Structure 1
Amino acid sequence: MSGKMKGKLPDRQPIDLTQQTAFRPYAGAKKLVIKNLRTSSTDEQSETYCNRTEQELREALVAIFRQEPLRLSLERLYRGVEDMCRHGREKHIYTLLYDVLETHLQSDVWQIVSAEFGSDNIEMLRVVIKQWQLLNRQIVIVRSIYSYLDRTYVLGDKSLYSVNDLTIAHFRKMLWGEKTSLSPWARCVAAVCDMVAFDRAEDKRFDSGLLRDSIMMFHVLSIYQKSFEKAFLSDSKKYFFHFAEERSAWSLKEYILACTEFLASEGHRCNAYNFDTTTKKQLLNSAHDIVIIDYTEKLLNPESLAKLLAENEVGSMKALYDLLRLSGIQIKLTVPLTEYVQRAGAAIVGDTERGDEMVMRLLELRRSLDIIVRDAFGGDEKFVYDIRQAFCAFMDDRQATSGWPTGTSKIGEMIAKHIDLLLRGGIKALPKTLLSDHKDRAAAEQSGQSSTGDEDAELDRQLDQALELFRFIEGKDAFEAFYKKDLARRLLMGRSASQDAERNMLRKLRDECGANFTRNLEQMFKDQEIAKGEMEAFKEHTARLESQPPVDLQVMVISAAAWPSYPEVRLRIPKEIAKEAGRFEQWYKHKHEGRKLTWAHSLANCTIKAIFPKGTKELSVSAYQAVVLVLFNDVGLDDFLSYEQISTATGLQGGDLDRTLQSLACGKVRVLTKHPKGRDVNPTDTFTINKAFSDPKIKIKINQIQLKETKEENKATHDRIVEDRKYETQAVIVRIMKARKTMGHSELLAEVFNHTRKRGPLDPSQVKKMIETLIDKDYLEREGNMYHYVS
């Protein structure tokens, strides 16, 4: 301790060591006194003590098994066992326990169990379980008394059972008896099998607690595998056969659902009621063999599967895939799947009644299959590959497309038109079933791509989907021709939804088909940029004039080599426009000497101001529609113009005039009134201004007619493709022969097909005619079945 103590210490006195005091306990004489000291007993006394202790233990064991109160405490009984062990009487008290336990089981317990021989197996099982649980509670007390014996005598002798194992062995011996079907044990096994049958049948007699306790007892008694497992698996196998046979007449969807629930139930039961893992494995393997392997023909029935796929039954397909995967035969699903894809796809491309919906239906088919592979098949790459192969097969099958009289790839044409729809209208032109869902967006974000929730990203994904179909087809020349024509309309009329999307699509095509494929398409974009510069220069020129031009003229000059050719129509345009067009033509020719301009009035569009009794509107119309409407400035509201008068005044004739008048008088926006009323335009019809016309919008578009392709234009495009293909094929033949000099007929055909495959399929008879043409033109010579190149 820190600090100082104040005060004075007392003086020390000398101590007398000879004098004994209470403060010196170790000084003087010493004496040890032990109370209640046990003196050494005689052999007779020891024997008496052991006999008495043995008798006390016997009485205690009998009382425990008879559920009577103990006369002595557990501590006294435990000390008694310990004393007996210390006196070398371990064998006596072990034999005592053995005899008392066996007597109890063979008399008392057996009497209770045998009294149930007349009852059913379930009731006997209940009694056995009850006695087993009671014995377990009793043996816990016995073990606490005999724990010293367990730790010393029994532990040192491997030939002896512990108290717990001794109880299990005696109980098993009591139940086992003779190995007959009437023995308690056999009836208990049968009762547990019956309990499982009740659970499978959803019988009210099923007792989950009894089943769980029974299985646990079987495990503890170490007779689960020896007798129960074999009987259980045998009964289960019979049930599986009955289950499958009973449901074999059900529809595939119902059978798949029943098998899925059935297998899940079997697995759940094994887990919930402590069945051994080996039992569960054997049980489920047996179930798979019977309800899946034996009924593979039903599960893989092409007609039934086609119905599920057509109805987009993703849940049923997932269940089917999981069932087959459990047996390792899911790969067999690819055969009926590809058959369905080919049949469904061939039906779509061969449907001449719904040609305009062809690509949309193909994309919906592909989308539904992608979702099934993603959500039902776990994205299995084998199915992805087989679906692509199936699409490639039916899209290049001439028999599937034989109903189209075009002579070229109708699919290529429709893919080009679908892309045109996307680039004009964006994703708003698509049904919701084709758009990305939350799983697609999550996958895109996870892969680091742009989220498909963004409209531009979704449009890009839809273009990729259309391009995927484009990869499958061989007739890429038809796609090229129609895509070029549609692109020209979009650029000339300013109808593209996004210039970025246009250039992105051009890049995709260049990556897919090469620079030669997109050379003219890229030139069209360059012409558009050059035309903007020319127009700005012309505006600067007109701005220097003294008078303001009456119309705002916008002209796009394009090169004839890169753009599609358009028929020249002699349209009588209004004087104001003709004057301004002449001024531009004069300026352009002065700037670019030697060039010739041809006006494509069929692609022109304009905005005119129309005054109606119910309001003034701005009409966005085509040039044809504009020249017709301007004629009514001189007629007024009350007078009319006949069909012939309009034709003479505008220069329009035939289909061009019919479509123009129909769009103005019979369409959704009817600014003219036709007399008599009707949807078809006839040469005897007359037309007046629709005085009742009204519309909530100020600016109204009615020039959609320019975007619609006529049958004549479509046929002309296909005919042009056929002619171009002939010339290209002849050029290929000449190149091949020039390089090889001499070739046989079949060898030459094979080479030609290989070189022209990407442009479109050729018929051998067509190639033969082209060879004949080249022979007539002295490019080739024929000698027997051999051809020689003429240099």
Structure 2
Amino acid sequence: MAGLLKDRSQCPFEDKWPCMRPIILKLLKQEPVTQAEWQDLFYSVYLVCMWDEKGAPKLRDALKEDIMDFIKQAQQRVLAHQEEQALLKAYITEWRKFFTQCNYLPTPFRQLESSLAGKTGLSIQKRNQPEESLVRKMMLDSWNQSIFNDIKKRLQDSAMKLVRAERNGEAFDSQLVIGVRESYVNLCSNATDKLQIYRVHFEAAYIETTEAFYWIKAPEQLQAHGVEHYMRYAEAKLREEELRAQKYLEPNSTSVQLLTDCCVRVLVATFKPAILAECPRMIRNHQTDKLRLMLKLMDRVPEGVAPMLKDLEEHISSAGLADMMAAVDVITQDSEKYVERLLDQFRRFSKLVKDAFDDDPRFLTARDKAYKLVVNDATVFRLELPSRQPPGAGAPPPVVVNTKPNNNNNGSPESKCPELLANYCDMLLRKTPLSKKLTSDEIESKLRDVLLVLKYVQNKDVFMRYHKAHLTRRLILDTSADSEKEENMVEWLREVGMPADYVNKLARMFQDIKVSQDLNQQFKEQCRATIADSINIKILNAGAWARGSERVTVSLPLQLEDYIPEVEEFYKKKHSGRKLQWYHHMSNGTITFSNQVGRFDVDVTTFQMAVLFAWNQRPLEKVSYENLRLATELPDPELRRTLWSLCAFPKLKRQLVIVDPPAYSPKDFAHDSRFWVNQEFAIVKNGKLQKRGKINLIGRLQLSTERSKEEDNQCIVQLRILRVQEAIIKILKMRKKINNAQLQTELVDILKNMFLPSKKMIKEQIEWLIEHKYIRRHDDDINTFVYMA
């Protein structure tokens, strides 16, 4: 053991370096090294570091000197090439050989690194953190300080020129640029930021030259070929530059995104106004491919899509309203044509959004917003609701109804769309030529279409009121085309979010009809046979059916008057304490009309029947208007409407009643106008007189009187007032205290499925509730309301 110990001075650096140096040079030059030489190098490094106090620093300095000499020789070999591609090729070759040795040469010098680390007091690396090789760092730093710094500018410029040449369509070896990038990435010895040199130099140069290239090319393309061609050019170049960046820039960095952002800024953002200026024209002309491309480009730019959304909204609203105005003569006369045109618009606008914008949710929202303006516009159709309540109309104060889409408070009329939608539903569900020519599936499809439009209607309460009126008519007159469809429609209304209390009332009407049918059957079984065959009663719950307080007086024919006591007596036995109210304007019957031409069955309203029976005992006499009024006891408006329906029924070529002098409207009837039964009345089919037949004169008169229509509209207003009050109380009960802005927001959210309350209506109902001490203003803030229990 003692024989192995030597004095450190016996293995000085000077003795070992001469035999170590040739092996080191061979490794640098990538020349073959024998196993014995490799092992001797390990042993010599160990001896120098362990047995010579100053051996490690000397060995480091000598090694660095040889590395620098090798690098200078490599630099000379690189600079011997003047042509750019040859220079890059030579540099990459030298760099790759050198970088390969950066992984091998440090291996025999681990003892040197340990010795230097110990003497300089460097801390031990933490567990799981790779130890940085001092020799490898020295090699990379030496390359960076000498050859790289000297020719870095030439390398960058040459690489960028090659990329520029590729952009101009020239071919070259892409590995030349990739090799330069790799040297930038691998040269950095900074453990905390390995990409520092690459980012500061190569990445910055690449982005800068790209930006400079397109600053020149892009305006030339736009000026020479116009916006449409330029959009295709910009999109192609963006895709091209993204692919090129993935090839030439460091993949595991933010470089590709930075380059893409730069290209978007230069190619798209700079020319955003010019590109967007073409959007309205493209939308008008349905240039869907170009719009799709525009969206693709504008989606890359901050706030790029917002102007497109605005352009789409303006197109849909203006085109939709213009389309309605162009067909105003047709659609104002036919609710079917009106609804079909609305649906056609919706399909066209939806197709535009799908084809041009791939049903992007932002553009679907813009479509819905604009289409809602069309549906709720009051230019073509107006529903004139009363602006103020009639005198003595109860507690709530006068209110101006305004639910026009712009929601200003000028008392503008509402759209008549909900009423027309209800009329169209009635045409589909009633026995009409339209419903008869359609299959069950087609009717269902069209009803679903109505519900689609209804989704955009702001004042759904109007639709429900008219739909209920039509349903009442169909159920009472037994004119429903399909009872199953009727009940399905109620459930569909529930599914699309119509208020539950509205829908529940409709469901009760069907239950009432079934109960009434049982009562009617029992009545027929108990009364005399002659009555049973000629009368059909409907006893209904006023709560679900009543359309208003109006009951029209009329002097019934004796044949009908006889039945009333018997029906009332029968009902009293069934339900004591209940009162029957007779709604004659909701009743109808069939009379047989005979003259010299033939015999006809005529379906008439009770009012028409009362008028016709005035001639029952004097069929050939001419009766004055005044005498008819005394005989029927009908109010003047109803008598005029009823007589007009008998004198000018649109489907008849020969009218049932003739008037003298001739009249062109019900207002033309004077007190001395004379009426008589047309003894030549007949049904004409295909130009031939029919001796037998049946005609329905009920038409659309049933269930609507002049006063009841006004009352309906007033009821809509009254109900809205109560709904607003109810919702305000509901919100304040829950919140206890709330400011005005939040109250209005929550109020609209609650009521939006029924109607859109105007700001004036909300304000007036708040004042009414404060006056009647349901709520109060906060002591410290007049815009805050507090619930009073």
Q: Partner residue of 1:538?
A: 523
**2:579: which partner in 1?**
596
Q: CA deviation at 1:376?
A: 8.0
Q: Does 1:690 align with 2:678?
A: yes
- Measured after TM superposition, the shift of residue 418 of structure 1 is 2.6
Q: CA deviation at 1:342?
A: 2.0
Q: Structure 1: how far apart are the matches of 2:546 and 2:510? A: 14
Shift of the 393–741 alpha-carbon distance from structure 1 to 2, 3 Å rule, reads same
Alignment of 1:697-776 (within 5 A): 698-707=693-702, 709=704, 712-776=707-771
Q: Please tell me whether the aligned partners of residues 299 and 320 of structure 1 are also in contact (alpha carbons under 8 angstroms).
A: no
Tell me the SS of whatever aligns to 1:788: strand
SS of residue in 2 equivalent to 1:572: coil
1:390 corresponds to: 370
What SS does the aligned partner of 2:446 have? Answer: helix
Q: 2:313 aligns with which of 323, 335, 338?
A: 338
Letter in 2 for 1:694: A
- Contact between 1:407 and 1:718, CA under 8 Å: does it hold in 2? no
1:584, distance to aligned residue in structure 2 (A)? 1.5
Q: Secondary structure at the match of 1:548?
A: helix
- Does residue 363 (structure 1) correspond to residue 343 (structure 2)? The answer is yes
Deviation for aligned residue 1:689: 1.3
1:499 aligns with 2:479: no
* 1:787 maps to which of 766, 785, 788: 785
The alpha-carbon deviation at position 586 of structure 1 amounts to 1.2
Equivalence for 2:590: 607
In the other structure, the counterpart of 1:564 is: 546
Q: How does 1:420-459 map to 2 (within 5 A)?
A: 420-424=426-430, 428=434, 455-459=439-443
Task: Name the residue aligned to 1:634.
Answer: 617
1:749 to partner: Cα distance: 3.1
CA–CA separation in structure 2 for the residues paired with 1:405 and 1:497: 40
Paired letter, 1:501: K
1:19 equivalent in structure 2: none
CA distance in structure 2 between the aligned counterparts of 1:570 and 1:645, rounded to whole angstroms: 16
Q: Assess, with a 3 A threshold, how the Cα gap between structure 1 residues 461 and 383 changes in structure 2: closer, same or farther.
A: farther
Describe the superposition over 1:213-246 as per-residue Cα deviations: whole angstroms up to 9, x where unpaired: xxxxxxxxxxxxxxxxxxxxxxxx999999967x
The residue that corresponds to 2:665 in the other structure is 680
The Cα of 1:725 is off from its aligned counterpart by: 1.6
How far 1:559 sits from its partner (Å)?
0.5
Residue matched to 1:661: 643
Which structure's CA Rg is the greater one? 1
Q: State how many pairs are aligned.
A: 484
The change in CA–CA distance for 1:689 and 1:376 in structure 2 (over 3 A counts) is: farther
CA contact (8 A) 2:595 2:681 kept: yes
- Of 484, 509, 518, which aligns to 2:503? 518
Q: Which amino acid aligns with 2:675?
A: F
> How far off its partner does 1:609 sit?
0.6
Contact kept? 1:409, 1:760, Cα under 8 Å: no
Aligned CA distance change for structure 1 residues 372 and 619 (closer, same or farther; 3 Å): farther
Structure 1 contact 672–688 (Cα < 8 Å) conserved: yes
* Contact 2:586 2:703 (C-alpha < 8 Å) held by counterparts: no
SS of 2:544's equivalent in the other structure is coil
Structure with more relative contact order (C-alpha pairs < 8 Å, separation 6 or more): 2
- Match 2:631 to one of 646, 649, 664: 649
Indicate which of 280, 296, 300 corresponds to 1:301: 280
The answer to whether 1:411 aligns with 2:417 is yes
Higher deviation after alignment, 533-542 or 293-302: 293-302
Q: 1:402 to 1:421 in 2, by over 3 A?
A: farther
Aligned partner of 1:473 in structure 2 is: 457
Deviations 1:309-331 (A, max 9, x none): xxxxxxx6567668869989998
The alpha carbon displacement at 1:384 in A equals 4.9
The one-letter code of the counterpart of 2:679 is: K
Mapped to 2, the partners of 1:564 and 1:602 lie a distance apart of 12
How far apart, in 2, do the equivalents of 1:766 and 1:642 lie?
A: 49
Q: 1:632 to 1:744 in 2, by over 3 A?
A: same
CA distance in 2, matches of 1:615, 1:243: 85
> Is 1:781–1:788's contact at 8 Å kept on the other side of the alignment?
yes
Amino acid at match of 1:496: S
Aligned AA (1:603): M
Q: 1:745 to 1:337 in 2, by over 3 A?
A: closer
Match of 1:623 among 606, 628, 638: 606
3-state secondary structure, aligned to 2:785: strand
Contact 2:498–2:754 (CA under 8 A) maintained in structure 1: no
Q: How does 1:253-272 map to 2 (within 5 A)?
A: none
Please give the alpha-carbon distance, in whole angstroms, between the structure 2 residues aligned to 1:664 and 1:675.
Answer: 14
State how far apart, in whole Å, the 1-side matches of 2:698 and 2:441 are. Answer: 30
Task: Tell me the secondary structure at the aligned position of residue 562 of structure 2.
Answer: helix
Q: Structure 2 vs 1, CA of residues 609 and 400 (structure 1 numbering), >3 Å: closer, same or farther?
A: farther
CA distance in 2, matches of 1:319, 1:741: 55
Q: Are the aligned partners of 1:406 and 1:718 in contact in 2 as well (CA < 8 Å)?
A: no
Local SS of the residue matching 2:455: helix
Structure 2, unpaired ranges of 5+:
1-217, 234-266, 377-402, 686-692
Cα displacement (A) at 1:476: 2.3
Amino acid at match of 1:300: C
RMSD: 4.1
> Which of 483, 498, 503 is equivalent to 2:467?
483
Residue 772 of structure 2 corresponds to which residue in structure 1? 777
CA separation in 2, counterparts of 1:404 and 1:575? 53
Distance in 2 between residues matched to 1:382 and 1:425, nearest whole Å: 42
- SS at the partner of 2:738? strand
Deviation at 1:393, TM superposition (A): 5.1
3-state SS in 2 of match to 1:679 = coil
Identity %: 24
Deviation at 1:521, TM superposition (A): 0.6
Q: In structure 1, what residue type is equivalent to 2:418?
A: G
Q: Shift of the alpha carbon at 1:656?
A: 0.7
Change in 2 beyond 3 A, CA 1:654/1:760: same
Question: Would the aligned equivalents of 1:609 and 1:617 in 2 still touch at CA under 8 Å?
Answer: yes
Q: Distance in 1 between matches of 2:604 and 2:765?
A: 46
C-alpha distance in structure 1 between counterparts of 2:323 and 2:487, whole Å: 30
> AA paired with 1:655?
P
Give the Cα separation in 1 of the matches to 2:766 and 2:223: 69
Q: Aligned pair in 2 of structure 1 residues 426, 674: CA closer, same or farther (>3 Å)?
A: closer
Native 8 Å contact 1:349 1:395 kept in 2: no
Deviation string, structure 1 residues 630-659 (Cα, Å, up to 9, x no partner): 22121223x211111111111112211111
Letter in 2 for 1:455: T
C-alpha contact 1:338 1:390 (8 A) present in aligned 2: yes
In structure 2, the CA distance between the partners of 1:344 and 1:714, relative to structure 1 (3 Å rule), is farther
Query: The residue matched to 2:538 in structure 1 has which SS?
Result: coil
Report the Cα distance in structure 2 between the residues aligned to 1:659 and 1:748, rounded to whole angstroms. 47
Q: Deviations along 1:609-633, whole A, 9 cap, x unmatched?
A: 1012211111111111111112212
**C-alpha contact 2:736 2:786 (8 A) present in aligned 1:** yes
CA distance in 2, matches of 1:694, 1:635: 20
What 5-or-longer segments of structure 1 have no aligned partner? 1-236, 249-255, 264-287, 309-315, 431-452
Give SS of 2:681's match: coil
CA contact (8 A) 1:611 1:617 kept: yes
Distance in 2 between residues matched to 1:346 and 1:294, nearest whole Å: 28
**C-alpha displacement of 1:412:** 2.9
1:474 aligned partner, one-letter code? Q
Task: Give the aligned residue type for 1:691.
Answer: Q
Change over 3 Å in CA distance of 1:594–1:690 after alignment to 2: same
Amino acid corresponding to residue 542 of structure 2 in structure 1 = A
Question: For each residue in 1:73-103, what CA deviation from the matched residue of structure 2 results, as whole angstroms up to 9, or x when unmatched?
Answer: xxxxxxxxxxxxxxxxxxxxxxxxxxxxxxx
Which residue identity lines up with residue 619 of structure 2 in the other structure?
A: G
Superposed, which structure 2 residues align to 1:141-156 within 5 Å? none
Q: Does residue 512 of structure 2 align to residue 527 of structure 1?
A: yes
Relative to the length of structure 2, the TM-score reads 0.54
Q: TM-score under structure 1 normalisation? A: 0.54
